């Protein structure tokens, strides 16, 4: 639509919303900034999030953190007002081809690794989306000869209309954000929006070991490219006898991947497949993977203290991510769990915790629910795995310091959102690292 002179309401004045307002203003739109909280934004007068603040809009742009089914937003839809998200807005102006990466877990690592491979291979690239720079803030620096590698959340994908990724990837689908999407089916369908506008010359990179991902193979017109840690696939990447293969050619030994866990081998294979489609060679991909420094707050080694290793996986904000984190270690774990519940089922954690954990340290608003569900699944305070309700992250770290023995590991992998006690998972991870470094 024509933006010059249009009355556009931007709902949600976090980083993405502010960037959207700036882009819209640069295109000549009359921007009204709205937020449910009283926030101060330089150069913008922010109005409260009410029905009247949306009245008279020609277009409404939602930030990712704003639910798309708000009553006041639905009222405007019924009046014929277009409602989009910041990703859709960015796609109207973003120059260069897009690689879009989503999934319940691993998308930050895979996005960062894909960007790293392309950059190290001399292929022009910028990285953003749900990681770092909002899509709308990437428009100014975009070029026709450049790849835009975007981490995409379900919140961003639920409000797209014409957005198209030349290469789209879904890494996995497990229960997450059910407090927002309500059912696993709706959540999975939102992820599948990534492929809705693909054309025959596009590619869908999919996890062959994930049933939902297999279903996406027919969701759009893009050509499926697979990755698997359990069997050979074609075209795509697979793990066989300790070796990563790409398009049936050896890529690198799995032991050379500098990231813990089978899930990170899957992330590496997905990134390799996408980088190959974008023009990187096998040799360039292998060399770049070996120099990848990893992602902050993702199985991040913090320090060793008294023979105990401390790891920060604050980005493990759902149960499946925590399961993958636990699987990356042999045992002797003290696991810090808890935070803001997302309508999750914590029972699947019981068996691996019983097998590998010396203790469970519960924090945050979800602590009681987690203990009840673990107990119902056969893990209780009277068992061999200690369960301690600590309340705060600082108290959990103090307990772990006193109880963990040399050779054991303390792992922050909360399986919850962070918003009960922290601004976001980054804030939680930084605080964990600060407290651990101060031991």
Catalytic positions:
107, 130, 177
Long-range Cβ pairs for the range 17-23 (8 Å, 24+):
17/61, 17/63, 17/86, 18/44, 19/86, 19/134, 19/136, 19/137, 20/61, 20/63, 20/86, 20/89, 20/134, 20/136, 22/136, 22/137, 23/89, 23/90, 23/93, 23/136, 23/137, 23/139
Question: How many Cα neighbours within 13 Å face the side chain of 230?
Answer: 5
What gap in Å lies between CA 179 and CA 181, rounded to an integer?
A: 6
What gap in Å lies between CA 151 and CA 153, rounded to an integer?
A: 7
DSSP 304-321: EETTEEEEE-TT--SHHH
DSSP 270-313: HHHHHHHHTT--HHHHHHHHHT----TTSSEEEEEETTEEEEE-
Residue at token pair 């795509």: 236
Do residues 125 and 118 make contact, with C-beta atoms less than 8 angstroms apart? yes
Residue at token pair 């960062």: 112
């Amino acid at each position: 639509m024509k933006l010059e002179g249009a009355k556009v309401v931007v709902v949600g004045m976090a980083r993405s919303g502010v960037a959207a307002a700036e882009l819209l203003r640069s295109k000549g739109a009359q921007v009204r900034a709205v937020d449910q909280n009283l926030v101060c934004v330089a150069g913008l007068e922010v109005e409260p999030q009410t029905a009247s603040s949306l009245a008279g809009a020609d277009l409404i742009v939602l930030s990712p953190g704003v639910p798309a089914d708000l009553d006041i937003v639905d009222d405007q839809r019924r009046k014929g007002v277009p409602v989009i998200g910041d990703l859709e807005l960015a796609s109207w102006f973003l120059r260069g081809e897009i690689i879009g990466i989503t999934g319940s877990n691993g998308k930050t690592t895979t996005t960062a690794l894909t960007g790293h491979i392309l950059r190290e291979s001399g292929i022009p690239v910028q990285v953003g989306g749900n990681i770092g720079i909002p899509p709308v803030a990437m428009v100014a620096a975009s070029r026709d000869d450049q790849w835009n590698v975007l981490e995409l959340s379900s919140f961003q994908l639920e409000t797209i209309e014409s957005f198209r990724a030349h290469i789209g990837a879904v890494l996995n689908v497990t229960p997450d954000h059910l407090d927002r999407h309500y059912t696993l089916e709706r959540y999975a369908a939102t992820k599948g929006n990534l492929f809705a506008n693909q054309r025959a010359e596009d590619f869908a990179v999919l996890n062959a070991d994930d049933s939902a991902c297999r279903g996406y193979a027919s969701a759009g017109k893009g050509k499926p490219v697979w990755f698997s840690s359990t069997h050979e696939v074609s075209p795509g990447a697979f793990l066989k006898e300790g070796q990563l293969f790409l398009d049936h050619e050896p890529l690198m030994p799995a032991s050379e991947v500098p990231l813990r866990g089978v899930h990170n081998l899957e992330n590496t294979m997905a990134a390799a497949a996408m980088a190959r489609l974008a023009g990187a060679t096998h040799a360039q991909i292998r060399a770049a993977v070996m120099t990848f420094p990893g992602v902050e707050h993702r199985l991040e080694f913090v320090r060793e203290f008294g023979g105990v290793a401390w790891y920060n996986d604050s980005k493990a904000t759902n149960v499946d991510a925590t399961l993958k984190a636990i699987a990356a270690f042999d045992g002797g774990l003290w696991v810090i769990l808890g935070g803001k519940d997302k309508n999750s089922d914590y029972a699947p954690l019981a068996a691996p915790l019983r097998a590998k954990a010396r203790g469970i340290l519960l924090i945050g608003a979800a602590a009681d629910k987690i203990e009840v569900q673990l107990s119902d699944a056969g893990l209780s305070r009277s068992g061999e795995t200690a369960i301690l309700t600590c309340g705060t992250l600082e108290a959990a770290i103090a307990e772990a310091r006193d109880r963990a023995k040399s050779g054991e590991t303390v792992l922050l992998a909360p399986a919850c959102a962070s918003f009960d006690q922290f601004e976001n998972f980054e804030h939680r991870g930084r605080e964990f690292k600060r407290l651990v470094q101060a031991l």
